[in-house]
Chains A and B, each alone.
Chain A
Amino acid sequence: MPLRLLKYALSKEYKETRFFRENVTPKKSYDAVIIGGGGHGLAAAYYLAKDHGITNVAVLEKGYLGGGNTGRNTTIVRSNYLTPEGVNFYDASVKIYEGLSEELDINLFYSTRGHFTLAHTESAMRTMRWRAEVNKHVGVDSYVVGPDEISKACPQLDISCSGHAPILGALYHGPGSVARHDAVAWGYARGADRLGVDIFQSTEVTGIDIKGGKVQGVQTSRGYISTPRVLSAVAGFTPRICKMAGIDTPIVIHPLQACVTEPMKPWLDSILVSGSLHVYVSQSSRGELVMGSSLDPYEVHSTRSSLDFVEGLTSHMLDMFPFLSNVKIVRQWGGMADMTPDFSPIMGKTPVEGFYLDAGWGTWGFKATPISGKTMAATIANDMAPDLIKPFRLSRFEEYELTGEKGAASVGH
């Protein structure tokens, strides 16, 4: 390694191969076009090529890969949801994540930490017991613990939360993990690229061409591309794309903000979440505390961040960890969360033939990246959604068959 470094230091050219090919001009037509180069779009492209042999695929990204919510989230992966449909789905994702660094040949820093959802009230304890039962029933490792066990795992936590909101117990979920989010996007991008998928950055989809209820192609900032199949995987931009396709959805966009502290020596092993205090926190491999809170309380289509957010979040962090009062916040940012009424995603076919939707990921979609890629690839290849994602179909709203996951949301909404 040092020799190689020396060689590059002395040479004018940097010959190391790029992560993926620089595609310049899109072809005139593709078997499938994926809108959005976030984790979901790239994973779908990868599995379309790998599982289904469909490689004449273009991924179009208006900014840069992973520059949307994929690179903005707090990287928590877990499957301790509330509905059996949700638990099964997210568990399938956790299982893929566990072997993903090896499969994609990139270090995702996938780190299993154990995840505590803290309960400060009797009613929150009831929800934890309910979730534990559903989880156990589906075969997911989750159980309710008392304050002593929480203190043992995290001695720095003030169990009384400065007397404001004493912790009565928690739902403990052993498989709860964190992963390096950018690497997930890059790993899937490289994997798809190597299988022949064309990836275009700085390429925006500006229109969807539909004739006789069928997709014909897309208008882009680099010209028209004809294709019979289009997947929209654009998170906070979904309502704009759906408008182009003439499809109504229940999605509304609210900003979700996060921030990190300056790096510290490792002291926080577990992932801690408190819905009542609007805090979730883990320590990154770099030593920063990665923290998030709740959605901004009204609709905004922008990624601005606000002082209100850091003030609220840090005051609750100090309830939990008074000793952090001298630690500095070094960065804050926001992403656009595409919220659905039942806190579940919208996946699968739409009323427009050949137009598929992977959306409604709100505040919870990073953990779903591998399984959503896999199931959306299968949906596109077979024009039929696999059973695992049928509960998340767009038509569930007009059929009044919602998949209510609000009780398992990690942030207060």
Chain B
Amino acid sequence: MKLLTCPINGVRPLSEFVFGGELRDMPPAECSDKEWADYVYNRNGAPGLKKEWWYHSPSGTWFVAERDTLTDNVARTYLYEQEGAQ
């Protein structure tokens, strides 16, 4: 079984986690409809190292994982607030 490291609870089986999609910055509130549609729908669907939201469901913890979507290797996981701390 695959494993993932929750920054709070440590290494846990993947079945305890929920994928939350890529971490993306919201455009400013006064953006155009086109920019908003781009944010709502378009994705970086090409393979590569991406920052993603993951959720550890038993403990209710949202955190960020840096994962290569081609190799499925996770480089690191951390709480959103801790970004850049490492």
Contact = CB atoms under 8 A, between A and B. Distances in A.
Contact of A238 (B41, B44, B45): B45
B38 A252 contact: no
B45 A400 contact: no
Interface residues of B, number: 23
A239 interface: yes
Contacts of B41: 250, 341, 397-398
Interface string A385-413: 00000000000011010000000000000
Given A301-B70, A397-B37, A243 B46 contact: yes
Interface in B22-75: 22, 33-34, 37-38, 40-47, 50, 52, 69-72
Given A240-B47, A252-B45, A398 B70 contact: no
A251 B19 contact: no
A42 interface: no
Nearest to B40: A397
Nearest to B14: A308
Contact of B72 (A239, A242, A300): A300
A297 B38 contact: no
Nearest to B44: A239
Contacts of B1: 307-308
Contacts, number: 60
A297 B18 CA distance: 8
A302 interface: yes
B42 A248 contact: yes
B69 A299 contact: yes
A304 B46 CA distance: 17
Interface residues of A, number: 25
Contact of B45 (A249, A297, A308, A397): A249
B69 A251 contact: no
A14 interface: no
B19 to A, nearest CB: 4
Contacts of B38: 248, 398
A341 B43 CA distance: 10
Contacts of B22: 299
Nearest to A253: B45
A400 B37 contact: yes
Contacts of A302: 70-72
Nearest to B42: A248
Given A300-B69, A308-B1, A239 B45 contact: yes
A299 B43 CA distance: 12
Contacts of A249: 42-43, 45
A248 B38 CA distance: 8
A397 B43 contact: no
Nearest to A339: B45
A298 B34 CA distance: 27
Nearest to B37: A398
Interface string A284-307: 000000000000011111101001
29 contacts: A238-B45, A239-B46, A242-B45, A242-B46, A243-B46, A248-B38, A249-B42, A249-B45, A250-B41, A251-B43, A252-B45, A253-B47, A297-B18, A297-B19, A299-B19, A299-B22, A299-B45, A299-B50, A300-B69, A301-B47, A301-B70, A302-B71, A302-B72, A304-B72, A308-B15, A397-B42, A398-B33, A398-B34, A400-B37
Interface of B: 1, 15, 18-19, 22, 33-34, 37-38, 40-47, 50, 52, 69-72
